[in-house]
Amino acid sequence: MLVSLVQNNPAFGRKMDNARNLVRLMEQAAATETGRPELYVLPELCFSGYQFLSRDEAYALAEPRQGGEGISVLAEAAKKLDAAIVFGFPERSGGKLYNSSMLLTPEGSRAVYRKTHLFAKEKTIFDPGDSGFFVKEFRGLKIGLAVCFDWFFPEAFGTLARLGADLIAHSANLVMPYCQQAVYARAVENRVYVLTANRCGSEDRGAELLTYTGKSVAVSPKGEYLVSLPESEEAAVCLAVDPALARDKALNPYNDIIADRRPELYR
Ligand code: ACM
């Protein structure tokens, strides 16, 4: 299957403009000679921006999973591109507010993952995710979702792999420098594809200057960097993934990385 990794630089709060720009980037990827991707992975909070100054501000920009300004634009694009899209968005649900990621299919199904491990001041804005980890199959590819700081917890990606994920769609707004190297280990230790779609650019809402690290990466189950995007430019690229490669957990005739686990000794 052909998939696409998308990196953007949203302008804070301009949901419609940012969503349309994401569609433009996805259309660019679809127009390349490699063929049409069937899955696009977009960054965390990709049409709202990241640096909310208060929970009320985030709540005002948030959308229910049924849709709002940003989600509607992406839902339309999924149909037009005949592809699934994974994207991060601020989700409101009743009085709760989550840093969520959605797997949206062209047929209209919407699976929502709510970020488990909130980072820094996100703890003052969002409720901790309560969806838990899950895997969904789309056109033969088993997709698991993770959001940004989840990478810091090997159990998160390991759980997705043990649930059967072929590919972990990891939407991010990274401000620390380690993740693009660390997800290499997440891919190798679980023999899965990891696509980290990070944002680029900086945001200063008067509280602090946040500079996002860009350099979105795709890593194969065999530990190859398949794609590495630039640090500070928007980009969308295509790459091929093979679910069979991720389902082969045998390292050699003696070692199977799932069967060899010793959970009784782990704490
Ligand atoms: C992060 O979790 N957005 C760093």
| Ligand 1 probe mutation, 125, 145, 174, 208, most atoms within 8 A of CB | 174
Got the DSSP string for 203-220? EESSS-EEE-----EEE-
Which pLDDT score, from 0 to 100, does residue 9 have? Answer: 98
The Å distance, Cα 202 to ligand 1 centre, comes to 14
Strand partners, 225: 219
> E strands of 133-234, at which residues?
135-138, 141-147, 167-172, 193-198, 202-204, 209-211, 217-219, 225-228
pLDDT tens track, the chain, 267 positions? 999 999 999 999 999 999 999 999 999 999 998 889 999 999 999 999 999 999 999 999 999 999 899 999 999 999 999 999 999 999 999 999 999 999 999 999 999 999 999 999 999 999 999 999 999 999 999 999 999 999 999 999 999 999 999 999 999 999 999 999 999 999 999 999 999 999 999 999 998 999 999 999 999 999 999 999 999 999 999 999 999 999 999 999 999 999 999 999 999
CB of 190 shorter than 6 A to ligand 1: no
* b/e 203-226 (16+ beta carbons within 10 angstroms → b): beeeeeebebbbbbbbbbbeeeeb
Atom 3 of ligand 1 has which residue's CA nearest to it?
Answer: 173
Query: Is the Cβ–Cβ distance between 42 and 234 less than 8 Å?
Result: no
The yes-or-no answer on residue 44 being catalytic is: yes
Rounded (5°) CA angle 52-58-62? 140
Give the ligand 1 atom nearest the CA of 174: 4
| Secondary structure element (H or E) that encloses residue 85, with its range | strand 84-93
Angle between helices 154-162 and 179-190 (to 10 degrees): 30
| Ligand 1 probe mutation, 151, 175, 199, 212, most atoms within 8 A of CB | 175
Which pLDDT score, from 0 to 100, does residue 33 have? Answer: 85
Which pLDDT score, from 0 to 100, does residue 174 have? Answer: 98
